[in-house]
Amino acid sequence: MVYSGKDKIRRSFTWKGRTQANGGSCLVAWERVQRPLEYGGLGILNLEYMSWALQARWLWFVKTEPDRPWKGLDIPIHPNAIALFNTAVVLHVGNGSNTLFWTDKWLFCVGVLAPFVVAAVPLKVREQRTVLEAITDHEWPTDIQGVLSLIGPYEYFQLWDALHDFALSDANDCHEWRFDKSGIFSSKSTYQALFNGSVVFEPWHRLWKT
């Protein structure tokens, strides 16, 4: 694994108390050291994981506070942060004005139900078309450009049937963060979620208390 400059300094300080240390001084793999205490680590912050959590926070603000002045800027976001966000956010569609038709996971994920149809929609349209705009007067088929592949027409009619009885309401779209009990995004809960699936070190509390 390639460590950043800050990680090398933190690793060296942890084991030798100085800015540089050779590999033989490191008694435990740095990835394991950075795990939370309950997973057998030393609880030292994983900078890469934390950066993904903070980038997911930008995506959360784009959804929940669209009036922020930096919305629309080309902010670089790691693919892992995007995947994390798409997994964690739960969309409850009201009027559909703040949910993207082609890319968000709302009633269902259009990209999963009809991937070949989505591929025929220009990227710029996918990133801008809201559910409200797409559903009103059945505008979404006008986004499709070019000829669909062999399976494309089948996916098209599947999508049409899935949307047939869908209706919008007067309420605002609601976004819920599934990693926090409050339903509101927090960097802490998002960072912790990145360790989900790790083996829990049962006696960690007694060990650290001692």
For residue range 90-149, what is the model confidence (pLDDT) as tens digits? Answer: 888 999 988 999 988 888 889 889 999 999 999 999 988 999 999 988 899 999 998 888
Instruction: Please say if the pLDDT value at position 153 is more than 60.
Output: yes
Question: What per-residue confidence (pLDDT) applies to 31?
Answer: 80
Instruction: Please say if the pLDDT value at position 55 is more than 80.
Output: yes
**Contacts of residue 56, Cβ cutoff 8 Å, sequence gap at least 6:** 81, 84, 85, 88, 185, 190
Q: Between 187 and 40, where is the model more confident?
A: 187
Helix (H), strand (E), coil (C) string for the chain: CCCCHHHHHHHHHHHHCCCCCCHHHCCCCHHHHCCCHHHCCCCCCCHHHHHHHHHHHHHHHHHHCCCCCCCCCCCCCCHHHHHHHHHHEEEECCCCCCCECCCCECCCEHHHHCHHHHHCCCHHHHCCCEHHHHHHHHCHHHHCCCCCCCCHHHHHHHHHHHHCCCCCCCCCCEEEECCCCCCCCCHHHHHHHCCCCCCCCCCHHHHHHC
| Residue 50 in tokens | 């934390």
pLDDT tens by residue, 14-29: 776 666 656 566 667 7
Question: What per-residue confidence (pLDDT) applies to 19?
Answer: 64
Q: Return the number of other C-beta atoms located less than 10 Å from residue 153's C-beta.
A: 12
